[in-house]
């Protein structure tokens, strides 16, 4: 399935930047989608309504929307699952991320031995939303991708997922502001601190999170199956 969906040339142009980055591997890529396809996804990006789940605790406030019968950001993505509540383009993209072409290009770009899509869900943030800096540390065969769908984001405005040297906002080393057809990618590791600053403006940051990971038919996911907190 070779389609004009992802701009692989733009992604692969950032290969060295990603692989050489310290203290952990990350990069930010503009124009990740081909423009025509992106505009279709943008036009049909789901608006926050009763289908969304509000995730709120001491560490974060955000709104999540899950594909198909998924109920949690921890649920495993199913490769052939369609969702009639989304547009044709969104269903096409959901199928495409499970193709060999998609996985192999991300593996080539990153040098990380990913083999499947593990998680896929929408995240929207509004005024008052945030996520404290944290580290998953389930790597090393895990890539976390944040794809952004927010036009006219102001320079310096909180909302993009930042990268930091430690679990402290004072150590931020990168924060994206061009959130229109772009992607932030990082390799999970013991050093991969990230989060989102508290949003004080009346805005909505729209994003899709995709997690790719190594998978073995015998041993399963390289990062294991995350446990739900009671």
Label residue 226 by pLDDT band (50, 70, 90). low
Q: How many other C-beta atoms lie within 10 A of the C-beta of residue 124?
A: 21
Please tell me whether the peptide bond between 57 and the residue prior to it is cis, using omega within 30 degrees of 0: no
Record: fold of 8-46+59-218: Jelly Rolls (2.60.120)
**What's the whole-number average pLDDT of the chain?**
94
> Rounded to an integer, what distance in angstroms lies between the CA atom of residue 53 and that of residue 65?
6
Strand partners, 119: 211
> Rounded to an integer, what distance in angstroms lies between the CA atom of residue 19 and that of residue 164?
17
**pLDDT of 2 above 80:** no
Label residue 135 by pLDDT band (50, 70, 90). very high
Where exactly are the structural domains of the chain?
Answer: 8-46+59-218
Burial 213-222 (b: 16+ CB within 10 A, else e): bbbeeeeebb
> CB–CB of 41/33 below 8 Å?
yes
Q: Which pLDDT tens digit goes with each residue over 76-97?
A: 888 878 999 999 999 999 999 9
DSSP state of 25: -
- Supply 124's token pair: 């929207």
- Residue 228, pLDDT score: 42
């Amino acid at each position: 399935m070779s389609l004009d969906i992802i701009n692989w040339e733009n992604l692969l142009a950032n290969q060295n930047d990603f692989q050489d980055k310290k203290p952990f591997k990350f990069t930010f890529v503009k124009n990740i989608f081909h423009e025509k396809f992106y505009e279709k996804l943008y036009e049909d990006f789901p608006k926050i309504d009763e289908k969304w789940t509000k995730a709120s605790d001491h560490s974060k406030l955000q709104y999540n929307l899950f594909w198909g019968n998924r109920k949690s950001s921890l649920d495993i993505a199913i490769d052939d699952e369609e969702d009639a509540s989304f547009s044709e383009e969104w269903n096409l993209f959901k199928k495409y991320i499970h193709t060999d072409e998609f996985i192999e290009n991300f593996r080539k770009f990153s040098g990380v031995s990913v083999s499947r899509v593990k998680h896929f869900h929408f995240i929207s943030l509004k005024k008052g939303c945030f996520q404290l800096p944290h580290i998953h540390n389930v790597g090393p065969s895990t890539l976390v991708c944040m794809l952004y769908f927010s036009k006219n984001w102001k320079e310096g405005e909180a909302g993009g997922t930042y990268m930091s040297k430690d679990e402290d906002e004072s150590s931020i080393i990168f924060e994206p502001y061009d959130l229109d057809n772009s992607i932030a990618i990082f390799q999970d590791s013991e050093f991969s601190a990230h989060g989102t600053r508290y949003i004080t403006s009346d805005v909505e940051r729209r994003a899709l999170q995709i997690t790719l990971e190594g998978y073995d038919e015998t041993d399963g996911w390289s990062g294991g199956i995350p446990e739900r907190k009671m």
